[in-house]
Amino acid sequence: MTIKNTDLLPERRVLIVEDDPAIRSLLRMALTRAGFVADEAADAACARVRMAEARPDLILMDWMMPGTSGVELARELKAQHTTRDIPIIMLTARAQEDDKVHGLNVGCDDYVAKPFSHPELIARIHAVLRRSTPGGTEQRIGIGRLVVDLAAQRVSVDGEPVKLGPSEYRLLQFFVSHPDRVYTREQVLDRVWGQGVYIEERTVDVHIRRLRKALEPHGCEAMLQTVRGSGYRFSDQP
């Protein structure tokens, strides 16, 4: 595969620090469906081990945990040179203004009160990651002759614009963000449209055909490949 632009958007890693296993499981599912790599920790000690194994791009931190609280752990991480740049979103049922101010004052980047919807949380995560990303990086994905400008939501081939509908754009953005990987129709449906939206799996085929048709005048339709018996893959290799 030929990458024209080094600003390829990788899968972002999120560490969930939450003592309730049911909540951790639900958060992990929501993050995975949204295209993140999710790690879990039940307490501060486990979180330190997980961060040593793999540095997260963002931390979802529960305020109330046994032993070291989320606020104490956040203060500790923000005081250390190696971890102070990792953005933290605090999750808590404490919704009073003083509590929010306290959480933000220790260095948290955002504060989400329970209960919250998963779409809202995913949107907050994306917003915090955008704010914490240096300007000019991770804005463009280039595969072969095709470039997706994530900031402007525009697609071009050799500098010529490609006209796409909203669904086809989301579909293409998903595939170019995960090149050379095969996804089933069900996986594409969950990642692009979300589990809460009722769309038949065969509808994915309709949007695949529309996307190919839009890419055809630019000679890029073959990049969206059908893998017989499995699903679809996006690649500039045959």
- What confidence tens digit (pLDDT) does each residue in 130-180 have? 776 544 445 678 888 899 887 777 899 998 999 998 889 889 988 988 888
Amino acid at 126: H
Domain that holds residue 51: 13-132
Helices and strands, number each (H, E), in the chain: 8, 11
Query: Same domain, yes or no, for 145 and 51?
Result: no
Report the pLDDT value the prediction gives residue 96, as an integer from 0 to 100. Answer: 55
CATH number, position 178: 1.10.10.10
Query: Same domain, yes or no, for 100 and 144?
Result: no
**Residue whose pair of structure tokens reads 């614009």 in the numeric block:** 161
Query: Same domain, yes or no, for 185 and 219?
Result: yes
Q: What global pTM score does this model have?
A: 0.53
- Of 138, 61, 139, 67, nearest to 106 by C-alpha is 61
Last residue of a domain, one of 132, 155, 181: 132
Last residue of a domain, one of 107, 132, 157: 132
Report the pLDDT value the prediction gives residue 60, as an integer from 0 to 100. Answer: 94
Collect the ranges in the chain with pLDDT lower than 70: 1-11, 94-106, 132-139, 194-199
**Would you give the distance in Å from CA 165 to the centre of its chain?**
22
Query: Same domain, yes or no, for 65 and 152?
Result: no
Q: Does 4 map to a domain?
A: no
Query: Same domain, yes or no, for 32 and 58?
Result: yes
Report the pLDDT value the prediction gives residue 46, as an integer from 0 to 100. Answer: 93
Query: Same domain, yes or no, for 22 and 127?
Result: yes
User: How far apart are alpha carbons 145 and 158 in whole angstroms?
Assistant: 6
Report the pLDDT value the prediction gives residue 135, as an integer from 0 to 100. Answer: 47
Report the pLDDT value the prediction gives residue 222, as an integer from 0 to 100. Answer: 95
53-66 confidence digits (pLDDT tens): 888 889 999 888 88
Query: Same domain, yes or no, for 152 and 57?
Result: no
**Residue 219 — φ and ψ, nearest 5°?**
75, 25
DSSP at 17: E
Last residue of a domain, one of 97, 132, 167: 132
- Burial 48-78, CB ≥16 within 10 A → b, else e: bebbeeeebbbbbbbbebeebbbbebbebbb
Report the pLDDT value the prediction gives residue 201, as an integer from 0 to 100. Answer: 74
Report the pLDDT value the prediction gives residue 101, as an integer from 0 to 100. Answer: 61
Give the number of domains in the chain.
Answer: 2
DSSP H or E stretch at residue 73: helix 70-79
Report the pLDDT value the prediction gives residue 3, as an integer from 0 to 100. Answer: 41
User: How far apart are alpha carbons 192 and 190 in whole angstroms?
Assistant: 6
